[in-house]
Chain A
Amino acid sequence: MTNINVIEAVRSYINRMIEDCGPTIKGLVMDKETASIVSMVYAQSEILQKEVFLFERIDIPGQKSLKHLSAICFLRPTEENIQSLVRELREPKYGNYFIYFTNFVEMSDIKCLAEADEFECVRVVQEFYADYLAINPHLYSLNIPNTYQKNYEWNDNVLRRTVQGLVSLLLSLRKKSATIRYQKSSNMARILADKLSSTLKRQADFTASNTNDYNQTIVLIIDRREDAITPLLNQWTYQAMVHELIGIKNNRVNLNQVPGITKELEEVVMNAEYDEFYANNLYSNFGEIATNIKGLMEHFQDKHKSQSKIESIGDMKTFIENYPQFKKLSGTVSKHVTIVSELSRLVGLYHLLEVSETEQHLVCQGDHNEVVQKIKRLIKDDKIRDLDILRLLSLYALRYEQHASNELNTLKHDAQKHRRLSEKYTQYLQAIVEYGGLKFRQADLFNTQTPMAITRQFIRGLRGVDNVYAQHVPLIKDLIEQLLRGKLKDTSYPNVNAKDQVNQQNLLQQGQINKPSEIIVYVVGGVTYEESYHIQMMNKQSARILLGGSYIHNFSTFIDEVLNGVSSSLSSASNELLSSRRR
């Protein structure tokens, strides 16, 4: 079996759709979510080559009859989509319809569609399980920005969407069943795991279940609240950095905040599948990128020189020969140069190196007094953004939650005095402790609780660190390593089917060693590109891990997420506080 690759999985679905449709001119009808799903893995120019010339949204009515075109409808099986499709079929605009749903469709919905299809123009109705965004070969997301509802409960819609997404992920990778393990301390993880396993079981009725899958694939469901630190840190690898400082949304980067930006670079697409330089540098750190981009520039200048010297007919010929490649190259060069220079501008402007060093120090070492002094100094520094102060304060709050001389309040007071933090931020500072504080957390995030961890920390300290800005290692890596070694505790990460477990153990005793070959991680509440980077490094060493979550967070989206989950008592308290202050 080849490596598991979500991008390939989605692409092969789309290829199948286009092939099934035959050699006619095609229009692709999508809804909002499937449009993102498709455009994550297929560039427009590439899909145009396959005679797909029209792209439409089902929820936005087009105006004209296109009887000579075939429609490929790639839709999520939601109620609105079914309704729109029924309306469309009653007055068909296209000649033929090839309908593909991303997930299980109710038979009643099929019946509705069949009754609406009076002109008999539907050719195919199929389920193609591509119900998630494939970002990198090992990284997927369900694009749900806010998972948590009040009091950290599931919202029914979101829960359904999550289960659908995970089921489709498993099916698209040809997994019929899997061992599901979840974080016991999280209520949400448990509910999701139960729901997922029952859905898989129901679905197993019509597809033959494969016991091998069950043994080999593990779905590990964890809650972001277990590790609230990773989204708080500043990042220094290319992809993560761009996301943290500028923001990547469905592979698009909006650059219109950049001073002196030209019109054509206001929005750029960063897709590792089509951009070699980006693909090679996704995980290189800021210093490496600078060198690499210099190399790219030099290469470009060489090309440019040979291009600009046109004296003979021969030169002209070579020029025209290389012109398309040249143009493409110049596009990539200007894009990456713009982005990297913007990154370095931001780093310089906001003293991010200093901030990041303090962050890492705070997380990985922990000399309390020194840290407090540093934070106090940074609070007084005008150059530092409020956002970065907020990072430091929340890290401090989590790190020294139960420290004897906790100075969080004085720090907050200082921050309030020197810079008027907005209401949202003060509210967030209260919420973060509830979100990821000790009351919820089990894992030893800062390596301070068990003697083992302390010694490990000590040894690490003796060995010295390679990179001051990348000392922090996310919890997920630790968990997965334990899982790979078969040492992840059943008490804190139990299996869903406890009864099946017994059977499983019988099987094991008969001589099989249960070593998972594939691990699929789902993080309720979103993942970060830092985690993606660490998983990628593990995959390089022949592990097979897929990472995914409800969203790819950076700090500012994470703030929103945290505020969303605030328990009602806390938010009302802070509201009162605010209103009293207003008075």
Chain B
Amino acid sequence: MTTRNLTSQFEQFRNRATREPHYLVDNKSIGDRTALLQSEDEDIVHFEKPDLPLWMELERKIQLQLDEVRSQVKKLQQLQNKYLKQPDFDDNLTNKNQIDTLTNDITTMLQECNASVQRLALQAKNPQKNSCDQRLISNAVQAAVTAFQDITTKFRNYQWGYILQLKHRNENSRQTMTNFDINMHSNPFTDQDDPDIDFDQLTLTLESQEQVTSVTLKFEKEREKEIRETLQSMNDVNNIFNDIATLVSSQGTYIDQIECNMEEAVVQLEQGNQHLVKAVEHQNRLLKWKLIFIGIGAAVLLFIILMSII
């Protein structure tokens, strides 16, 4: 990839060009010229500042929000992985809490983002804008929607995977528990020679079993709760997703090529111009008719007045 930078040459030329007119104009009236330029500059500033349009701010905001969501989702994924890899009977409430809050955060952020995207889409439909602006904004909407869709899909995939794994582990642990139970039950009856030990074991197992079941119960409950929470967040996201799907489909089918779209834009522009020309003609004709009507009306009035006078 070879390139050649000509910026410095360009700037040299430009500097020289800006300096030279000075010498030329110096002999004439400097005050006139400078004043003129300044006022022009001010004009531009005046026009631009309030003009920094709403949609651009929105776009900026969406961009920032999406960036944040992206980083958060990444964090979430790491946390989930860590959590899933940890051994079962470790109480890792802090970790879990973190996951919960993060999930909630992301969901609310996505909702906010969705709201901004919707607002942006509304801007695109604003009939007050001219065609150029509308094209710009609808392009921006398109970009935002695609990025947004990407990130939500990713998020949902993570969540879904997480839930599946949790469920899987839940079942696993239940299975191991029951296996454990059966072993304990069967153990004493096979060894019938030592009743003493038998008894001991039985009591022991009963105790431990109780303990274990209570632990598993607690655990399962927690899991259930977790799954429910995650599902809840997924539901929220689903709603957002539906909104976006409608947005995308309302954009209509489009051909994903720059050249094609440019040509289309040109055609639209020409059509628009034609319409404008037609409208102007129409208006002119209307004006003519109006004038004629007014003329006739005036004549009639005059006639009536004349008649009444006579």
Residue positions of A touching B, CB distance < 8 A: 9, 12-13, 16, 23, 25, 28, 30, 35-36, 38-39, 42-45, 47-49, 51, 53-57, 60, 62-68, 105, 107, 110-111, 113-115, 117-118, 120, 122-129, 171-172, 174, 176, 206-207, 250-252, 264, 267-269, 271, 274, 317, 320-321, 323-324
Contact = CB atoms under 8 A, between A and B. Distances in A.
B48 A68 contact: yes
B245 interface: yes
A42 B258 contact: yes
B253 A264 contact: yes
Contacts, number: 162
A323 B1 contact: no
A350 to B, nearest CB: 29
Interface in B202-255: 234, 238, 241-242, 245, 253, 255
B17 A126 contact: no
Contact of A54 (B11, B130, B136): B136
Nearest to A174: B2
A42 B262 CA distance: 14
B307 interface: no
A120 B262 contact: no
The 8 closest A-B pairs by CB, nearest first: A114-B13, A48-B143, A39-B259, A39-B258, A114-B14, A127-B4, A171-B2, A115-B17
B206 to A, nearest CB: 39
B52 interface: yes
B139 A127 contact: no
Nearest to B16: A114
B179 interface: no
Interface stretch (B73-81, B85-93, B145-153, B286-294): B145-153
Contact of A57 (B17, B257, B266): B266
Main secondary structure of the interface of A (DSSP, over half): mixed
A114 B15 CA distance: 8
B132 A68 contact: no
Contact of A44 (B47, B51, B258): B258
Contacts of B11: 114
B172 interface: no
A321 B242 CA distance: 11
B1 A320 contact: no
Contacts of A107: 9
B6 A105 contact: yes
B117 to A, nearest CB: 14
Q: Give the interface size class of chain B.
A: 35 or more
6 contacts: A16-B3, A53-B143, A65-B47, A120-B14, A267-B255, A323-B245
Interface of B: 1-7, 9-14, 16-18, 44, 47-48, 51-53, 56, 59, 63, 130, 132-133, 135-136, 139-140, 142-143, 146-147, 149, 153, 156-157, 160, 234, 238, 241-242, 245, 253, 255-262, 265-266, 269
B3 A127 contact: yes
B258 A47 contact: yes
Contacts of B5: 124-127
A455 to B, nearest CB: 47
B142 A45 contact: yes
A13 B1 contact: yes
Contacts of A128: 3
Contacts of B262: 30, 35, 55-57
Contact of A321 (B153, B266, B269): B153
Given A25-B56, A172-B1, A320-B238, A269 B257 contact: yes
Contact of B256 (A9, A115, A125, A269): A269
A126 B146 contact: no
Contact of B160 (A105, A271, A321): A321
B259 A321 contact: no
B169 to A, nearest CB: 19
A122 B5 CA distance: 13
A55 B258 contact: yes
A390 B86 CA distance: 75
B201 to A, nearest CB: 44
Contact of A129 (B3, B140, B157): B3
Contact of B3 (A48, A126, A269): A126
A28, A44, A122: most-surrounded residue (chain B CB, <10 A): A44
A324 B146 CA distance: 10
Contact of B153 (A117, A174, A324): A324
